Chain A
């Protein structure tokens, strides 16, 4: 009777509950360390396992039912006496939680939980054993107490006026006078429709006082949401295709203009709302990181304090998905390499407990996620040595290098300065992937460090990845979009002059700097050389900058600035590097969104290699 829809709902909701359980467990662990266990948290945890058990029961998932039941039974004892809670138990609950999570993660394909029976059977006796040992410990002095608890509730109940006697009184005071209770009349349905329930006062004994407003959430499949957002993107494009149609461009249409500007306003609002739909808070992600920090601290035996701020910050849901791996990599690095051992820290006159800070803030059109530790900081010498050994740097070259450039080496593929490879990190994969992932969503990573003070990784992410502010330009009849964020300056070639170093090498002088001048075609295809003729029609130069490297790109036309909806690159162009997407412009033309950061990185890397080659 129960089909795939019910099952996938079960999985989704259960995973949500398990995520909450994880958060509570981490908090309880901290509480335990501070010796201030909050009974509400224990109760919530009990509820979570209880609910999981109840829900899974409908589906006959007996492994889940039994495992959740074992955890629930132990918690039932603990919630009556919070002092019984200890670290070992939390660890066990955590394992139970993880196992349940694993089962649920595969439930949609497996349709049954029987294959996890053995795994659950490893945990159930351990939970049972603790429960039984607590029972015998506490049974003698406490034998009467739970019973008394039950009776106490009953006394309260009977102290109240029983339902039937309370009824007339309640009705009289709470219902309007014109509908007096007439229970004896048979067609009592007549009076019911007029009745409105008086609002029920919120009870304060709930687990959270902040939940006083009823939130009516609904769930939507992400596919449907994506489709909706896609369609709204199309609508934005269609709107400009119609209102800026060349057929009516020269016509004087006052009424049409008024109505089309109204249409534009509605479409823009719709687009804004739709962008809001994509935004979700970082809470879930940050909670996962809390768990990670906890687990890593245990594994490495380091004492780690964690501070998390800005959980409520919202970010595009697709960006959030891409963010998980980079955050994990960075935090692993911080704990494994960054933070010193307790003894080392004490020797350096630092507190024994290391600190990790994860914070999220808004900065203009970006969300910044900053992960910092108060560990040893990056080791300049070791990075330089490694860079040289990997041929990224020539002997003696480091003198002229700014610190930022040196720190940047850690984002190179295969670059690890860790002497030992642990199962946590040190295999040299990680930070390059971090940068690559973040770049996928038009974000950027920066690193700041100070010796013995620690490291900060700053992830700068666009608020939305569905839309980009860009400058629309043309070159040889093709439309390109340059992300506004990368544009440093726009120059008119009537006023600035291109200098020729040789036939194939041109530069432009800009604020006392010589900046290489290239065309997009050259950047996209190395075989094309920018002969004089190519640039003759060019009227504009746009200076783009990334990490203190600049390029001057030449174009023959600038259409203007606008926000464009990012669409994926069609399959037949997938092999071409240098585009981060494409869009359809108001004119109906296709515009290619340029990946300026990729160009700049590539250009400077290539040139360095060729210089190195020339030098030998």
Chain B
């Protein structure tokens, strides 16, 4: 993006107060300008083509037509990077996750009078608007495909297959909700344990896990301390906790949660997960994957894993919503092979020498 050109933002929120506050928050950044506002999707649909914004901030909950409904109608007609603005309630998080599955790039949470302050929301929103403004949304939307997994039993399969690899560790940030969904949509139930660190606030991770679990018939859980690493389990790092992997006696391993300092500005941090695998000498039985996201979280960790014997994959530039984390990882030498999302699971199967029950 041209440095002299400001990022044009359009705000959709039914509350005038919130529009005012958002405008004030983001225009403190000299690179951002607000080109329009609307109090409902109907107004927005008239104004957006007129003012041609670069990024849209969209309230999740609105009367008459909520943000998700609007997004579903907007994106096919007028693809634009959208950042959802959500409350931290169950309903809010559910809708925010839905929005991510329907083409929203990212979301922020409104201040809740507690840990989420005006300042933290402001910082987050500005950063996410900048990230979103770099996205080629049309290309990304075109390649996003979920396959609703219909497990087909493999007639020639052995009852239980053994692999050198017992663990798959995935790290992602912006765009990750969609990317992880797409990867998991073709993961067989008898894959080794998958641990995922996706940058997301508390509450949202549980909703995300529940949704994926239901949609693809997989055992996806928000990780709890001491949960066992076992075949078929998929653990997602809960918001505000680092997810790590611990070696127990023998061949059983567990996941662990810590509230240690933020790393690379994130908790959960992908680097923390990846480094824990190396520290516990599990690298040679793990496959590391880094997906879309701004910044460099996970890049060093992936390199460390590769150096300690892991197979490592990175999302390719044409596939990633934001080719940031995978790029840094690749340039550091941490990525063995770059792949598009649709090639991820086939490649994992090759690495695993998969001969499980499902095709």
Contacts and interface: CB of A to CB of B under 8 A. Distances in A.
Interface of A: 1-2, 5-6, 9-10, 13-14, 47, 50-51, 53-62, 65-66, 150-151, 153-155, 157-158, 162-167, 169-171, 174-175, 181, 183-184, 188-189, 192-193, 195-200, 202-203, 206-207, 211, 214, 216, 219
Contact of A163 (B45, B72, B78): B72
B113 A1 contact: no
B2 to A, nearest CB: 12
A164 B121 CA distance: 30
Contact of A1 (B24, B43, B77, B89): B24
9 contacts: A9-B16, A54-B15, A167-B141, A174-B76, A184-B139, A195-B77, A202-B65, A206-B63, A214-B40
B112 interface: yes
Contact of B142 (A55, A183, A189): A183
A154 B215 contact: yes
A55 B14 CA distance: 11
B112 A192 contact: no
A184 B136 CA distance: 10
A164 B141 contact: yes
A55 B145 contact: no
A51 B122 CA distance: 19
Given A162-B144, A163-B144, A206-B63, A200 B73 contact: yes
B87 interface: yes
B214 A154 contact: yes
Contacts of B142: 164, 167, 183-184
Contacts of B215: 154, 158
Contacts of B64: 202-203, 206-207, 211
Contacts of A207: 63-64
Contacts of A165: 145
Interface in B286-305: none
A79 to B, nearest CB: 11
Contacts of A5: 20
By size class, the interface of chain B is 35 or more
Contacts of B113: 53, 56-57, 60-62, 65-66
Interface string B116-151: 111001100000000000000011011111101000
Contacts of B25: 1
Interface string B93-106: 01000100111000
A171 B70 contact: no
Given A54-B15, A184-B139, 5 more contacts: A60-B118, A164-B142, A197-B77, A211-B64, A219-B16
- Interface of A: prevailing SS: helix
A61 B15 CA distance: 17
Interface stretch (B46-54, B190-198, B273-281, B307-315): B46-54
A170 B234 CA distance: 35
A54 B78 contact: no
A150 B21 CA distance: 31
B18 interface: yes
A520 B210 CA distance: 85
B28 interface: yes
A183 B139 contact: yes
Contacts of B89: 50
B52 A58 contact: no
Contacts of A163: 72, 75-76, 101-103, 141, 144
A604 to B, nearest CB: 54
B333 interface: no
Nearest to A211: B64
B327 interface: no
Contacts of A181: 138
Contacts of A164: 141-145
User: Which of B15, B73, B87, B146 counts the most A-chain CB atoms under 10 A from its CB?
Assistant: B15
Contact of A65 (B74, B112, B214): B112
A162 B110 contact: no
A167 to B, nearest CB: 4
Contacts of A50: 61, 87, 89
Nearest to B118: A58
A13 B17 contact: yes
A206 B24 contact: no
A149 to B, nearest CB: 10
B41 interface: yes
B21 A183 contact: no
B76 A162 contact: no
B42 interface: yes
A10 B17 contact: yes
Contacts of B121: 58
A195 B141 contact: no
Given A198-B77, A200-B73, A192 B52 contact: yes
Contact of A174 (B18, B49, B61, B77): B77
Interchain residue pairs A-B with the least CB separation, the first 5: A170-B76, A65-B113, A206-B64, A183-B138, A57-B111
Contacts of A192: 49, 52, 78
B285 to A, nearest CB: 34
B203 interface: no
Contacts of B111: 57-58, 60
A546 to B, nearest CB: 47
A54 B146 CA distance: 33
B78 A195 contact: yes
A58 B42 contact: no
B69 interface: yes
B36 interface: no
Interface string B139-174: 101111110100000000000000000000000000
Contacts of B48: 197
Nearest to B87: A54
Given A9-B16, A54-B18, A192-B52, A47 B211 contact: no
Nearest to A197: B45
Contact of A200 (B45, B49, B117, B146): B45
Nearest to A157: B98
Contacts of A56: 113
A363 to B, nearest CB: 37
Contacts of B24: 1-2, 6
Contacts of A184: 139, 142
Given A1-B28, A61-B113, A157-B101, A203 B77 contact: no
A461 to B, nearest CB: 32
Contacts of A53: 87, 113
Contacts of B78: 192, 195, 197
Contact of A171 (B61, B77, B117, B144): B77
A200 B139 contact: no
Interface in B162-212: 210-211
Contact of A54 (B45, B79, B110): B110
B146 A175 contact: no
A66 B113 CA distance: 8
B42 A214 contact: yes
Contact of B52 (A10, A59, A158, A193): A193
Nearest to A65: B113
A36 to B, nearest CB: 23
Given A58-B17, A183-B141, A47 B214 contact: no
Nearest to B103: A163
Contacts of B70: 200
Contacts of A158: 148, 215
B49 A197 contact: yes
Nearest to A181: B138
A171 B79 CA distance: 11
A13 B16 contact: yes
A157 B113 CA distance: 32
A308 B25 CA distance: 44
Contacts of B75: 163, 167
Interface string B22-63: 001100100000000000111101101100100000000101
B26 to A, nearest CB: 11
A193 B210 CA distance: 40
A56 B111 CA distance: 9
A393 B330 CA distance: 103
A162 B18 CA distance: 31
